[in-house]
Amino acid sequence: MTNPVSLLYLFGVAEEDSFALISRGKTLLYISALNYSEVKKIVKASRLSIISNREKVAEYLRSLAGRKIGFESSNLTVRGLSVWKKMLRQAKLMPTTNLIEDLRLVKDKEEITLIRKAAGIADTVFQELRPMIRPGVTERFIAGKIDALIREKGCEPAFKTIVASGQNTAVPHHAVSSRTLKKNDIVMLDFGAVYKGYRSDLTRTIFLGKINKLHQCLYDLVAAAQSEAIKAVGPGVKTESIDRDARSIIAKAGYGNYFIHSTGHGLGLETHESPRVSSKDTTTLHPGMVVTVEPGIYLPRCGGVRIEDMVLVTTTGREVLTKAAK
């Protein structure tokens, strides 16, 4: 096990250069000597050996001669694989996919509590930020305020904060610029917080002053598409059908070609994880899964609108975790 996110999920730590070897009877977790004593305090599990001595690790690896050993193929680089082949010359290395990722699809009560907290922090940041968004300030100023407010709450940004204004809103992942917000501008904010490893993701599109008819039309369409898609979330529902519900509303209005990304994605320890809320994903939702619902329309040289919320699948339907005003 080499993926830091897998290690965080299984053991509660994700130290640099760490790895785990897991078998039926024994699990070995290698941790750098620099962090060994701290990790020993955190990680407590039966049949688990935490080792920082490289010689002991090498001895254990030699004992695996002739064994079949699976590795996380989506995480290990070509260089990393060559290193493991040298260390395990007599073993057969076999690629695996999504072993831990599939376990992470359904969140337990503790995980949901942490995700709910992360969502609440994003809501609070938006509420505190809203009075600062005004003509005369720059996109970079607003992005800096978002990140500062997140850190004031003891968290870190979940990803690179997006602040787009005017025509820049036509770029879904616009790189924050020095553009100054103007009267009657459209402004898009996309940000999230990491709380004890778990993440939130929130997008709001707001207007500074008078809203022109086209932007109001786009906003109303996206809001309607999001509302229908959220209503579709529930146990037993396939993610492709949620995407279809959102996309059909936008397509019927003639803007289908300008909805250029999937309707959403799973999130938890990573901002983007399985399942995808996409026409290409047929995952069936189960209680405990958390997805985003974020349709958007992006018109070049005009502007764009995206609205995003986090949604928990419950036994009877769904719960919207993000509560920020729209």
70-81 confidence digits (pLDDT tens): 988 888 888 888
| Helical H segments across the chain, by residue range | 4-11, 36-42, 54-62, 78-87, 99-103, 109-129, 139-152, 213-232, 239-252
Q: Which residues pair with 68 in a beta bridge?
A: 92
Nearest to 164 by CA among 144, 190, 145: 190
Residue spans per domain, the chain? 4-103, 109-320
Q: What count of other Cβ atoms lies within 10 Å of the Cβ of residue 68?
A: 9
Mean pLDDT computed over 205-220: 95
The residue count of the chain comes to 326
Per-residue pLDDT, 47: 66
Does the structure show a pLDDT above 80 at 33?
no
Mean pLDDT computed over 98-126: 96
Mean pLDDT computed over 60-72: 83
Mean pLDDT computed over 236-260: 97
Where does the pLDDT of residue 268 fall: very low under 50, low under 70, confident under 90, or very high at 90 and above? Answer: very high
Q: What is the CATH number of domain 109-320?
A: 3.90.230.10
Considering the entire predicted model, what is its pTM? 0.91
Q: What is the DSSP letter of 89?
A: T
Per-residue pLDDT, 44: 66
Mean pLDDT in the chain? Answer: 92
User: Is the domain covering 4-103 a CATH 3.40.350.10 domain?
Assistant: yes
What is the spatial distance between Cα 234 and Cα 312, in angstroms, rounded to a whole number? Answer: 9
Mean pLDDT computed over 105-113: 97
Per-residue pLDDT, 59: 82
